[in-house]
Structure 1
Amino acid sequence: MKLVAFLMAGPTCHHHAMWRHPQTENRFLDPAFWETLARTLEVGRFDGLFFADVLSFYNETTMARGGQMSLLDPVPLVAMMARTTSRIGLGVTMSTSFQEPYAIARVLSSLDVLSGGRIAWNIVTSAGDLEAQMFGKEALLPRNERYDRAEEVLKVCLDLWAGWADGALVLDKESGDFIDQAKMRHTEAAGKYVGARGVFTVPPSPQRHPVIMQAGSSPRGRDFAASHAELVFTLQHSLSDMQEFYAEMKDRVGKSGRNPDDCAILVSVDPIVGETESLAREKQAYINGLVDPRVGIPFMSAHTGLDLSKYPIDKPIIDISAETGSRGSFDIILQGTKAKNLTLGEAASHFAISELCPQVVGTPETVAEELQEFFENKGCDGFIVTPTEMPGSFEAFTRSVVPILQKRGLFRREYPGSTLRETIKA
């Protein structure tokens, strides 16, 4: 199975109360914290880590109460983490809605070269108009147009990255030949939204270009992932939900003309590990009890791009329509709440705990068993591991759960090569 750590450059990840846990260090502004965490995950042989990102505060409530947010740009964090590790993959989220493809291609390719070929690009189109307003725009493009633009941005980036043939960088001191121009190609791209013209300046990394990662859940997002993604990150709520998504995505990948094995489906889980089952359940109850109910609805509104505050909190969430915002995110919420017919207020509280993905709770042995069940029953190809305390969740998981997965032959003991693409394809 594959394991990727979910990170945000701020006080929380999925669990809104993470920063309030007494064992969370809240050193998210300290470079040494991130460097140590990267080394911990590499010792655990994680395929990679990636930073989710948001480009604005969601709203005043989540800002004041410590909700999900990015206080730093993850790009310099990944650069620092690359310096202190040698094998683990490093993922960066960048939205296609605001930056030009050359800017994206240049910074990601530079990171990929300097890290020895370990970078992934988590492609998002953004969901909220507040992010657009930080870039001087009134609102995001309509939903389908956001993916039209994303297709153009990715196409141009891939074209730029293909501009250098093998051996183009000569560096022959004797002859004075620096670059073999015959092995360089001009990019000529002009689309409805973006374009580029010229020769890309950054040489290729050992993996040629960053691994493509995507988390779209709407029908259009799934089509985009099926056509391009090497790693798909998804929030699902039960084994049956995972199996349905897994089968559908693998079918979409095949229909797009790709080998389904070339697209790994990773589901999000929040592991809570204790020395005994009862201790693990006590940990779960404690951290979940720290969630601030005032943040739940604004948090879910921000995540979906919908203003849910205008609805009564006792309204069944299944009765709410979603004509704007992120259709895929709202569909995931509906999927996770329909079995219990939760109200808006109940759903918001659950969402602030784990974004409705499974909390895998128990001893190291039982946590490993549950992950094995999801994996072997075709629910996924691996997991996005999300913390409930920092860095303790990852330290406990790498020390106690990973060795059990390795002993059962479910997870690697060593990295297969030096690049992220080598690792995820092994």
Structure 2
Amino acid sequence: MRLVAYLKTGPTALHVGGWRHPEATLDDILSPQRYQQIAVLLEQACFDACFFADLFGLYDLHGGSYDAYLRRGGQISFLDPTVVLPVMAAATRHIGLGATLSTSFHNAYHLARWLGSLDAMSGGRVAWNVVTSATDLEAQNAGLDALPPREERYDRADEVLEACCALWEGWEPDAMVLDKAAGVLADPDKVRYAHYQGRWVKTRGPLSIPRSPQGRPVIMQAGSSERGRDFAARWAELIFTTQRDPADMRAFRDDIHARMAARGRAPTDCAILPGISVVLGETASIARERAEYLNGLIDPELNLAASSSSLGADLTKLQEGGSLEALQGHQGMQGTRDVLEQAMKAEGLTLREAAQRRNTGREIVGTAAQVADRLEAIFTSGACDGFVLAPTMFPGMFEQFCRSVVPELQRRGLFRTRYPGSTLRDTLTR
């Protein structure tokens, strides 16, 4: 079983009420110790990796303002994860460290240089969560008027990945000589230019950065659209997905595997991990009470704002019979739409009702053994390769999970008790 932690450099991850919990910490959000401590905790529990979800800006789509997000405590990135990850790398030795970076707004050389540097410095533990971005506000922060069409964004993403790989492969593994006596620092015959040119991307190279122990960062991806799935089938080594029902998880996994096979890739080349959250208690009734309390902290208006932001459509403007597509334009995440449509179908809700309840009552609730039972049943059914764990309240949920559920999974032989190698790719493939 694979386990990856979903993190934010702000008060809220996916559960929009979690920051209001009495045990949630807030005064350390800008402190390096906060991020070092969670990395150490997750590494002690042998998590494959942790990664930061991120936005290139501040959500202001809902009601045409960032009022709801700032006032009510939405998903905000108070810090750039590219600054936080080196701090976490310095405090750990094994856990993978993932950053979300957009191919739509950063040039290939800059991406390859930053990610290659951290990958080398961390001993080969970096993952890149590749996104094409989903909101016009991000495009405007990058100097564009609006997002390009989805197909165009993914075409550019393909080229960015091709260019980055050409740059990372520009250094042979043994190019560094470091021979003082002979006066040879590196062998120039083992370093080469990239000379990459596509329709959207052009870069010469070479990088000035030697190859990392794992060669290049692990590629993560979370796209759920048709084009996103094709992109994942080509590039992804780890996919974060949104299905809630095991049957839907299995259908998604089967679809990705079929697309991978068409490209000559084996199913084991990519781990597919649906997102989950948990609420734990010493007894089932205590867990249910905690879940009720936690979900009572959710502000429905913030839930609606979060859905607006992820859908790329201001739901305050959606009238009965109105078109969501007309409001979206080129914006929006297909995964969010899938989650809402699943809730609408299962519970007979309107889009607005599903959006207001989006993060309510979706957790796996129970004792450590009961949560382990549920994870085991999903995993052993072939629905997925593991899970991305998003916190309800931080850091308490991770602490509870690592100290009670992980040992239970280990006792059942479902999860490792030590890391198999030194790089993230070692961890994912052994």
Distance 1:332 1:220 in 2: 18
| Alignment-derived partner of residue 246 in structure 1 | 253
| Cα separation, 1, equivalents of 2:277 and 2:94 | 24
CA distance in structure 2 between the partners assigned to 1:62 and 1:38 by the alignment: 27
For 1:5, the equivalent position in structure 2 comes to: 5
CA distance in 1, matches of 2:390, 2:115: 24
State whether residues 420 and 427 of structure 2, in contact with CA within 8 Å, keep that contact through their aligned partners in structure 1: yes
Residues 1:316 and 1:382: Cα distance change in structure 2 (over 3 Å)? farther
**TM-score for both structures, normalised by structure 2:** 0.95
Consecutive unaligned residues of structure 1, counting only runs of 5 or more, are none
Following TM superposition, by how much is the alpha carbon of 1:149 offset from its aligned partner in structure 2, in angstroms? 0.8
Equivalent residue in structure 2 for 1:326, among 313, 329, 332: 332
In structure 2, C-alpha distance between the alignment counterparts of 1:257 and 1:308, rounded to whole Å: 42
Cα distance in structure 2, aligned partners of 1:8 and 1:316: 36
- Quote the Cα distance in structure 1 between the aligned partners of 2:29 and 2:245: 31
**2:231 is matched with which residue?**
224
CA contact (8 A) 2:147 2:330 kept: no
Distance 1:404 1:148 in 2: 44
Distance 1:316 1:252, change over 3 A: farther
Q: Any residues of structure 2 matched to 1:255-274 within 5 Å, and which?
A: 255-274=262-281
1:146 to 125, 130, 153: 153
Q: Work out which of the residue numbers 410, 416, 422 in structure 2 matches 1:412.
A: 416
Which SS does the other structure have where 1:92 is aligned?
strand
Return the alpha-carbon distance in structure 1 between the equivalents of residues 180 and 343 of structure 2. 62
SS of match in other structure, 1:299: helix
Q: Is the 8 A contact 2:315 2:352 kept in 1?
A: no
Aligned to 1:197, which of 191, 199, 204?
A: 204
Q: Among residues 373, 385, 405, which one is paired with 2:377 in the alignment? A: 373
Structure 1 residue matching 2:85: 3-state secondary structure: helix
Is 1:284–2:294 an aligned residue pair? no
Separation in structure 2 between the aligned mates of residue 52 and residue 132 of structure 1, nearest angstrom = 17
Q: Secondary structure at the match of 2:416?
A: coil
The CA deviation string for residues 174-195 of structure 1, in whole angstroms up to 9 with x for no partner, is 1211221111111111222111
Give yes or no for contact 1:295–1:352 (8 Å, CA) kept in 2. no
Letter in 1 for 2:178: L
Kindly state the Cα deviation for residue 30 of structure 1 after the two structures are TM-superposed: 1.2
Local SS of the residue matching 1:153: helix
Q: CA deviation at 1:332?
A: 3.7
Name the CA distance, whole Å, in 2 between partners of 1:144 and 1:334.
23
Letter in 2 for 1:212: I
- How far apart are residue 316 of structure 1 and its match? 8.7
- Answer yes or no: is the 8 Å Cα contact 1:316–1:342 preserved in 2: no
Identical columns (%) = 49
Does the 8 Å contact 1:316/1:341 carry over to 2? no
SS in 1 for 2:357: helix
State the partner residue of 2:54: 53
Q: Does 1:97 align with 2:104?
A: yes
- Counterparts of 2:180 and 2:333, CA distance in 1: 57
2:63 aligned partner: none
Cα 1:316–1:258 shift into 2, 3 Å: farther
Q: Return 168-177 or 230-239, whichever deviates more.
A: 168-177
Q: What is the rounded CA distance, in whole Å, between the counterparts of 1:279 and 1:332 in structure 2?
A: 28
Determine helix, strand or coil for the equivalent of 2:98.
Answer: strand
What is the distance in 2 between the residues matched to 1:222 and 1:188? 28
Conserved 8 A contact 2:175-2:186? yes
Is the aligned partner of 1:44 residue 2:50? no
Where 1:116 maps in the other structure, the secondary structure is coil
Query: In 2, are the aligned partners of 1:79 and 1:111 still within 8 Å (CA)?
Result: yes
SS in 1 for 2:36: helix
Which stretch shifts more, 174-183 or 141-150? 174-183
User: What secondary structure does 2:358 align onto?
Assistant: helix
Deviation per residue, 1:145-197 (Å, 9 max, x gap) = 11011111111000100001121111111121122111111111122211101
- Of 382, 386, 390, the match for 2:386: 382
1:305 to 293, 301, 312: 312
Q: C-alpha deviations, 1:386-412, integer Å up to 9, x for none?
A: 111111000000000000100000000
Tell me the distance in 2 between the aligned counterparts of 1:103 and 1:231.
Answer: 23
Unaligned runs of 5+ in 2: 61-65
Deviation at 1:64, TM superposition (A): 2.1
What whole-Å deviation, never above 9, does each CA across 1:203-254 have from its counterpart, x for those lacking one?
Answer: 1111011000000000000000011000000011211111111111111111
Change (3 A) 1:205 1:43: same
Contact 1:4 1:47 in 2 (8 A): yes
2:78 to 63, 71, 81: 71
Which residue identity is paired with 1:326?
A: G
The secondary structure found in structure 2 opposite 1:91 is strand
Which string of whole-angstrom CA distances, capped at 9 and with x for unpartnered residues, describes residues 36-86 of structure 1?
Answer: 111110111100100000111112121221111111000121100111111
Equivalent position SS for 1:416: coil
Q: Which moved more, 1:23-32 or 1:93-102?
A: 23-32
